Amino acid sequence: MSPQTAALAALANLYEQDYALWLDTTGQLLKAGRLAEVDIANLLKELNDMGRSEKQALTSNLIVVLMHLLKYAYQPGQRSNNWRFTLKEHRRRLQEALGTSPSLTDYFEQIFADCYQEARDLTATETGVGLENFPIESPFTHEQVLDRAFLPR
């Protein structure tokens, strides 16, 4: 086994044994321009996972906002500061994600209808309000969902 092959195997092994050290080592190798020594397979895996993680967070935050908007609209007697706080916080997270990664805007638009369906189902289960009481299509626009001041009447 060549020294370069042995070094690559050691770095790949490090990925499994000490992730933080693998990150530091990989960063140092990249910074030094020693690309031939970088554990490319695991680096690519990490980059793909980062993109997936960003999308999962966006999806989760969107569902939470839609659920709280539905609860706010269809349970006016139960409105609380906690609901308003949750709306503001998850909208902030959405805006931050879209601000730091504008390319996620297309993804936001693609998943909006599916997220609404999930939020509709979860809200019906959580509240005991029948699913048939919530509109099939989202009564909220993309802009309303992201608007930290918007509350349904």
The pLDDT tens digits along the chain (153 residues) read 777 777 777 777 888 888 899 889 999 999 999 998 899 999 999 888 888 999 999 999 999 999 999 999 999 999 999 999 999 999 999 999 999 999 999 999 999 999 999 999 999 999 999 999 999 999 999 999 999 999 998
DSSP string, 60-108: HHHHHHHHHHHHHHH-GGG--HHHHHHHHHHHHHHHHHHHH-TTHHHHH
